[in-house]
Chains A and B, each alone.
Chain A
Amino acid sequence: MNAWRLSSRLLLRQGRSGALWMLIIGLGVAAAALTAVTLFTDRVGRALEQQAGEVLAADLRISGRARPADALEAQARELGLSTARLLDLDTVVYSDNESSLFEVKGAGDGYPLRGRLQVADAPGAADRPADGLPGTGEAWIEPRGLRALSIELGDPIWVGEQALTVTRLLTYEPDRGDGPFALAPRVIVALPDLLDAGLLGPGSRARHRLLVAGPAEAVSAYEQAVRPTLDDRTRLTTIRDAENQTSEALDQARRFLAVAALTAVVLAAVAVLLAALRFAEAQRDLVAVLKAFGARGAVIQRAMLLMLLGLVLCAAALGALGGGIGQHLIAEILAGNLQEPLPPVSLAPLPGLAAFTLLLAVGFALPPLAALRHVPPMRILNRSLDQRPRAGALGWLLAVAVALLLPVIQLGQPRLALYVLGGSAVLALALALAAWGAVRLTRALAHRVRGTYRFGLAGLGRREAMSIVQTTALGLGLMALLLLMVVRTELIDQWRASLPDDTPDHFMVNIQPDQADALREELAALGVEGLQVRPMANANLVAITGETPPDDAFTGQVNLSWIDRLPPANVVREGRFWSPDATGEISLASRWAERVGVGLGDRLTFDGGGQTFTGEVTSIREVDWGSFNVNFFLLVTPEAANQLPHQYIASFRAPPDRLEALDRVARSRPNVTLLDVGALVDRVFEIIDQVSRAAQVVFAFTLAAGLVVLLAALEATRDQRRSEAALLRTLGAERRMVRGGLLIEYGVMAVIAAALAVAGAAVVGGLLARELFGFDYRPGVGLFALGFGASVALIVGAGWLGNRSVLQTPPVRILRER
């Protein structure tokens, strides 16, 4: 008989066997969980990517003093990318009554390519997404711009030679540029209007921008093609370069989802391992018969391989289907909570997933199946003549390692994968060792205790290899579930809490030094929370260790501040922060230092209004930009206050019912500008919320995979337990003894697995929190108590339920068993 026919017969013959279904279900659920999570994570990832694009209102931006050539735009369009043009300039805008400095944006068709403008139809009215852009002759203006010009909606304003009508209030621009620190109010007009305003003469400070967006591959192809052709006065920015609070939150969101996906991977791997072991075991009798009837070992091996391939195909197809439906459900559930529709499903991850299923199956199932060729035909006469296959061949490890590598590559989060998978591997090792030790210990102990205990403890020893595999599998499964629980609840809660309740939602800028003290008192009287008032000087960087600095957006005009001690949300990475009475020292944010190419020991000279400050860089800081604190790239020692003209900037959280009063405080000083960044803070909380909801749904999927692991683990030894129970009952053991033995056996296993799983989840959770999410995670007592209790109850309970049939086994079965 050839291998094809044999394998198809083998498969057919096993239609009724639980082992076959267990393996198909194990592989199928593994594939489905991973498919759903990966497809969904990929979708959300792309959605987040697009949201990250909001920072630029595009995926890529080319900007310069000169207008980017039309060729650049044509090139982008050839690649199927969408484009839009922008023109930004600072100019004085006039109304009938007043004039004021504004940041004017001329928006070309298509702007914004990412994100949306938000507008309101009246001061104080709720805002809504804008459809389109200001038409010819229209201007949309920031609410504070109305105050600055003493006008109302519908009044005319002049930008250069253009007369425009203010038709809407602009409440949100995705690419607000300088963030909340922009001093001047903003106005947005149609690009042709601004081009015709007569403001673009020589010496104008206008900045031209070309926005580009589209599929990630096309964008990066475009970036590679274009970047080398740009001169050094033209700057190309991608979302990777953009850093602000929103992108930071988005980054963390992606990491949370990746953790969820990885835990699903770990569970899937464990489920497949258990199912495969059981399947291979179930094949042994069959193979003995085949051999007894004269089948050659090589044919059997080939047949097993073919059978496995068939199974993998079925499981992968089922998994892809189930996963596709699953991710669709997830998206449906979330749809109501999402601001914008998710991008369509991409099939790109599917081949990788199929390969994952195949490798997992091959890695875990093939070695025991291949070992079947060595089953002695004598087994048919006497089962005890059959030597068990030996575990731990190197071949397994390779296939499994490659299998696990795939999702790591797909998720593109190597460090995070290292923590989750590495943590799992270490835990697996610890579990296996602990289980091995426990088996040894119980063997010794079994001889010292009596009755039921001896049975239970001896039960662990009787199935030494299986006990170790089961404990390891259960522990890993539990850790994955607990880890997800940690991520879902504690990590996200603590992340949210790491943005304190007094996260500033208002900034007050352009406060003159002689106004600072009085304002501080008035704000405090209003009951604002988290008030910080920091000095800020706008200066030119004129020299780096005696040399002229390169022309870069990061040099030229910079904002710097001084302080006598390290501000919150800052960590010194290199050097030491100065003592309160130090002078002539500078501390740089690492990003700025890297960008400009400055390090410890360099001397920087700043010029502000003819006065200069020179200092030496003595420390490099890591700044948590996500904290919404007022942070500065450049900090200098306090004596700079006497050398550089400066103003103050205040940040605080305003009580919602004191906004009117706050407005009056700001208006009483014409130079002071009040900025409401509440919308930005809300945006970040919204992202956190979305992510926690997504993680919750993914959690359900992972839970399903976890339950399969549990079932597979219990199923793996059931036949053996049944025979054993029958034999014991025949020898006269009471049911209580068999039951007590089961409980003790599972109890020991549960305690080991749960204890290590809880510890593993706490450690890995802590690592993830500190290294990747940037806050200190304190595992709650809840995790320990609840996680441990629930785990033990789950294992013992499931072991109990899963083995009811064992207890019901009629002893007479032994007479009919071969």
Chain B
Amino acid sequence: MTREHSPSDAADGAARPLLVAQDVGFHVEAPGGRLDILHDINLTLMPGETLAIVGASGSGKTTLLGLLAGLELPSTGGIELAGTALERLDEDGRAELRRRRVGFVFQSFHLMPSLTALENVMLALEIAGVDAPRPAAEAALREVGLGHRLDHYPRQMSGGEQQRVAIARAFAPEPALLFADEPTGNLDRRTGDQVAELLFRIHRDHGTSLVLVTHDPALARRCDRTAVIEDGRLALQPDAATPA
């Protein structure tokens, strides 16, 4: 299995951003007329970078995440993921891109209840076409500290443990970019902190870029940059950690 990036990619490929959103807008046709959800979103993410998206509930964070990951297409503007313009791909093309480049962590975990922790992680590896999914899945689970719970079902685990399985599932195929939509939103403070710690450790150890939607200012501060969404518009806050 080969991957086209490594922590050093950020240095050599400084000119090639991992994710670019240009003038992105999103609206839906609602019964009462057109509903504008996002306007004029512009943002760039370099490999290895971390970005926090914050904003009030209903401001459009989740919608933006879905667009950036190619789960749906913007109404206006364009998004480029790993050098590919998303609007040029059909749904399956975008799925393939996600499979190779993108991992997801959700607020409510979304593990398959009838599969064990190990099987849940293996599922993602199988979709990604990894040849030996079992050892890779075991390694990923050990890395999130669940090496002893491989054969446990989601219902036998606490929320924090389930989210750790979800994280293992997200990074096991070694994506370049990991999207997390309020990954600590369903967890208590302490557990949330542990999960956040884990995400940043994976970022450090694997060079994975992170796009993190969160409510938590402390968590946002740990990212290289923070984007604030207000009324569907994005205000990038400059951050000292932003690479030049």
Residues of A within 8 A of B (CB): 381-387, 454, 458, 461-464, 723-724, 727-737, 810-812, 814-818
Count B interface residues, CB 8 Å: 38
Instruction: Check A724/B108 contact, CB under 8 A, given A387-B155, A735-B92, A815-B62.
Output: no
Contact between A815 and B181, CB atoms less than 8 A apart: yes
Contact between B106 and A815, CB atoms less than 8 A apart: yes
Contact between A464 and B162, CB atoms less than 8 A apart: no
Give every chain A residue within 8 A of B123 (Cβ-Cβ).
Answer: 458, 731
Neighbour of B62 across the interface among A462, A464, A816, A818, CB < 8 A: A816
State in angstroms the CA–CA spacing of A724 and B120 once bound together: 12
Of B3-11, B65-73, B193-201, the one touching chain A: B65-73
Instruction: Check A384/B113 contact, CB under 8 A, given A735-B95, A816-B62.
Output: yes
Q: Does B215 contact A (CB under 8 A)?
A: no
Contact between B71 and A810, CB atoms less than 8 A apart: yes
Q: Does B231 contact A (CB under 8 A)?
A: no
Give every chain B residue within 8 A of A454 (Cβ-Cβ).
Answer: 126
Give every chain A residue within 8 A of B36 (Cβ-Cβ).
Answer: none
State in angstroms the CA–CA spacing of A407 and B69 once bound together: 58
A–B Cβ pairs within 8 angstroms, 23 of them = A383-B108, A383-B113, A384-B111, A384-B155, A384-B157, A384-B162, A385-B155, A727-B110, A728-B127, A730-B71, A730-B104, A731-B98, A731-B123, A731-B169, A732-B95, A732-B100, A735-B92, A735-B95, A737-B127, A815-B62, A815-B66, A815-B106, A817-B108
Instruction: Check A384/B96 contact, CB under 8 A, given A463-B114, A812-B66.
Output: no
Contact between B95 and A462, CB atoms less than 8 A apart: no
Q: Does B112 contact A (CB under 8 A)?
A: yes
State in angstroms the CA–CA spacing of A384 and B161 once bound together: 12
Q: Does B85 contact A (CB under 8 A)?
A: no
Q: Does B219 contact A (CB under 8 A)?
A: no
Per-residue 0/1 for B173-215: is the Cβ within 8 Å of any A Cβ (1 yes, 0 no)? 0000000010000100000000000000000000000000000
State in angstroms the CA–CA spacing of A730 and B173 once bound together: 14
Contact between A731 and B72, CB atoms less than 8 A apart: no
Neighbour of B71 across the interface among A384, A728, A733, A815, CB < 8 A: A815
- Chain B's closest residue to A732 (CB) is B99
Instruction: Check A811/B95 contact, CB under 8 A, given A381-B186, A454-B126.
Output: yes
Q: Does B171 contact A (CB under 8 A)?
A: no
State in angstroms the CA–CA spacing of A815 and B108 once bound together: 9
Q: Smallest Cβ distance from B103 to chain A, in angstroms?
A: 9
Q: Smallest Cβ distance from A467 to chain B, in angstroms?
A: 10
Contact between A735 and B91, CB atoms less than 8 A apart: yes
State in angstroms the CA–CA spacing of A384 and B72 once bound together: 27
8 residue pairs, one from A and one from B, having the closest CB atoms: A732-B99, A384-B154, A732-B98, A812-B71, A812-B66, A734-B92, A811-B71, A812-B72
Give every chain B residue within 8 A of A385 (Cβ-Cβ).
Answer: 155
Per-residue 0/1 for B145-171: is the Cβ within 8 Å of any A Cβ (1 yes, 0 no)? 000000000110101001000000100
Contact between A810 and B114, CB atoms less than 8 A apart: no
In the complex, which of the residues B65, B109, B110, B114 has the most CB atoms of chain A within 10 Å of its own CB atom?
B110
Residues of B within 8 A of A (CB): 62, 65-66, 69, 71-72, 91-92, 95-100, 102, 104, 106, 108-115, 123-124, 126-128, 154-155, 157, 159, 162, 169, 181, 186
Contact between A733 and B112, CB atoms less than 8 A apart: no
Q: Smallest Cβ distance from A367 to chain B, in angstroms?
A: 21
State in angstroms the CA–CA spacing of A30 and B36 once bound together: 49
Give every chain A residue within 8 A of B124 (Cβ-Cβ).
Answer: 731
Instruction: Check A727/B112 contact, CB under 8 A, given A734-B92, A735-B91, A815-B106.
Output: yes
Neighbour of B127 across the interface among A732, A736, A815, CB < 8 A: A732
- Chain A's closest residue to B170 (CB) is A731
In the complex, which of the residues B97, B98, B100, B181 has the most CB atoms of chain A within 10 Å of its own CB atom?
B98
Give every chain B residue within 8 A of A815 (Cβ-Cβ).
Answer: 62, 65-66, 71, 106, 181
In the complex, which of the residues B91, B113, B169 has the most CB atoms of chain A within 10 Å of its own CB atom?
B113
- Chain A's closest residue to B102 (CB) is A732
Contact between A734 and B110, CB atoms less than 8 A apart: no
State in angstroms the CA–CA spacing of A385 and B115 once bound together: 14
- Chain B's closest residue to A464 (CB) is B114
Known: A383-B113, A386-B155. 17 other contacts (CB 8 A): A381-B159, A382-B108, A382-B109, A385-B155, A454-B126, A462-B114, A727-B110, A729-B91, A731-B128, A732-B127, A732-B128, A811-B95, A814-B106, A815-B65, A815-B66, A815-B181, A818-B108
Give every chain B residue within 8 A of A386 (Cβ-Cβ).
Answer: 155
Q: Smallest Cβ distance from B152 to chain A, in angstroms?
A: 11
In the complex, which of the residues A461, A737, A811 has the most CB atoms of chain B within 10 Å of its own CB atom?
A811
Q: Smallest Cβ distance from A807 to chain B, in angstroms?
A: 10
Give every chain A residue within 8 A of B65 (Cβ-Cβ).
Answer: 815
Contact between A382 and B159, CB atoms less than 8 A apart: yes
Q: Smallest Cβ distance from B123 to chain A, in angstroms?
A: 7
Give every chain A residue within 8 A of B112 (Cβ-Cβ).
Answer: 462, 724, 727
In the complex, which of the residues B71, B124, B159, B162 has the most CB atoms of chain A within 10 Å of its own CB atom?
B71
Give every chain B residue within 8 A of A816 (Cβ-Cβ).
Answer: 62
State in angstroms the CA–CA spacing of A401 and B205 once bound together: 62
State in angstroms the CA–CA spacing of A470 and B117 once bound together: 26
State in angstroms the CA–CA spacing of A815 and B66 once bound together: 7
- Chain A's closest residue to B72 (CB) is A812
- Chain A's closest residue to B100 (CB) is A732
Q: Smallest Cβ distance from A270 to chain B, in angstroms?
A: 24
Give every chain B residue within 8 A of A384 (Cβ-Cβ).
Answer: 109, 111, 113, 154-155, 157, 162
Give every chain B residue within 8 A of A387 (Cβ-Cβ).
Answer: 155
State in angstroms the CA–CA spacing of A731 and B126 once bound together: 10
Q: Smallest Cβ distance from B28 to chain A, in angstroms?
A: 12
State in angstroms the CA–CA spacing of A710 and B128 once bound together: 34
State in angstroms the CA–CA spacing of A386 and B156 once bound together: 10
Q: Smallest Cβ distance from A44 to chain B, in angstroms?
A: 49
Q: Smallest Cβ distance from A732 to chain B, in angstroms?
A: 3
- Chain A's closest residue to B213 (CB) is A815
Neighbour of A817 across the interface among B71, B72, B110, B154, CB < 8 A: B110
Give every chain A residue within 8 A of B69 (Cβ-Cβ).
Answer: 730
Contact between B186 and A733, CB atoms less than 8 A apart: no
Give every chain B residue within 8 A of A818 (Cβ-Cβ).
Answer: 108
Contact between A382 and B66, CB atoms less than 8 A apart: no
Give every chain A residue within 8 A of B97 (Cβ-Cβ).
Answer: 732
Contact between A382 and B186, CB atoms less than 8 A apart: yes
State in angstroms the CA–CA spacing of A417 and B16 once bound together: 76
Neighbour of B96 across the interface among A728, A732, A811, CB < 8 A: A732
